[in-house]
């Protein structure tokens, strides 16, 4: 009887996965602080600029997240690092999958919320997203709450993700960080 073997998982992320990962990471490092500042500083030119940039980069992050999922499906991804306990494996996989879900859900919530408030979402002044829900204060409030909770969850998950990288690199001293860096950097 012949057995069907599962395809071997790659040892490195695909080059496109790496590029998309680092570009979206940089954008998230701007989007989250900008979101917190703009929601708290009060009206003015700086607030308007931060709103514009927050929304525009948020839309770009959404497109990049979809591209990342497609590349991951097509090219696969390395498995959990060797030597992890079952709990650590479940934890790291859950953090990664929840981050993917939030990278897709947060921009959608932001768009729906802004639409319910009847403000246009202009992406870097190049084009404007259509309104997708009726103007309604109550709907806006619910979506704003969800966007806030999602932003909090994302902040905590990004910190957990960074803690994982620090642990792998400086305590376990394994190659997990190198799997996400250009191959020419060695590692």
Instruction: Find the binder of ligand HEM among 20, 50, 61, 143 (CB under 6 A).
Output: 61
147 binds ligand HEM (CB under 6 A): yes
Q: Which of 103, 173, 17, 24 is nearest to 95 (CA)?
A: 103
Residues present in the chain in total: 187
Closest contact distance (angstroms) between CB of 100 and ligand HEM is 11
Identify any residues that bridge with 128 across adjacent strands, giving them in sequence order. Answer: 122
Q: Quick one: tokens of 82?
A: 């060797």
CA 157 to chain centre: 10
Q: Give the C-alpha separation, 41 to 81, whole Å.
A: 43
Q: What whole-number distance in Å separates Cα of residue 125 and Cα of residue 49?
A: 12
Q: Does 111 bind ligand HEM (CB under 6 A)?
A: yes
* 144 near ligand HEM, judged by CB under 6 A: yes
Tell me how many residues contact ligand HEM (CB under 6 A).
23
Q: Which stretch binds ligand HEM (CB under 6 A): 68-76, 89-97, 104-112, 170-178?
A: 104-112
54 makes contact with ligand HEM (CB under 6 A) = yes
Check binding of 36 to ligand HEM (CB under 6 A): yes
Do β-strands 121-123 and 127-129 pair in parallel, antiparallel, or remain unpaired?
antiparallel
Q: Which residues are at the interface with ligand HEM (CB under 6 A)?
A: 28, 31-32, 35-36, 39, 54-55, 58-59, 61, 103, 106-107, 110-111, 114, 121, 144, 147-148, 151, 154
């Amino acid at each position: 009887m012949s057995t069907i073997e599962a395809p071997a998982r790659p040892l490195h992320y695909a080059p496109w996965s790496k590029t998309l990962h680092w570009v979206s990471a940089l954008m998230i490092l701007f989007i989250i602080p900008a979101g917190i500042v703009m929601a708290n500083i009060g009206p003015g030119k700086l607030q308007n600029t931060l709103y514009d940039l927050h929304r525009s980069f948020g839309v770009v992050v959404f497109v990049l997240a979809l591209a990342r999922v497609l590349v991951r499906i097509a090219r696969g991804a390395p498995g959990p690092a060797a030597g992890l306990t079952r709990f650590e494996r479940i934890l790291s996989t859950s953090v990664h999958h929840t981050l993917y879900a939030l990278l897709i859900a947060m921009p959608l919530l932001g768009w729906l919320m802004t639409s319910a408030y009847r403000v246009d979402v202009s992406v870097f002044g190049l084009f404007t997203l259509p309104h997708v829900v009726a103007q309604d204060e109550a709907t806006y409030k619910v979506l704003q709450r969800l966007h806030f909770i999602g932003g909090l969850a994302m902040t905590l998950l990004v910190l957990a993700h960074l803690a994982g990288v620090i642990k792998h690199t400086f305590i376990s001293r394994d190659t997990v960080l190198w799997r996400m860096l250009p191959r020419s950097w060695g590692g």
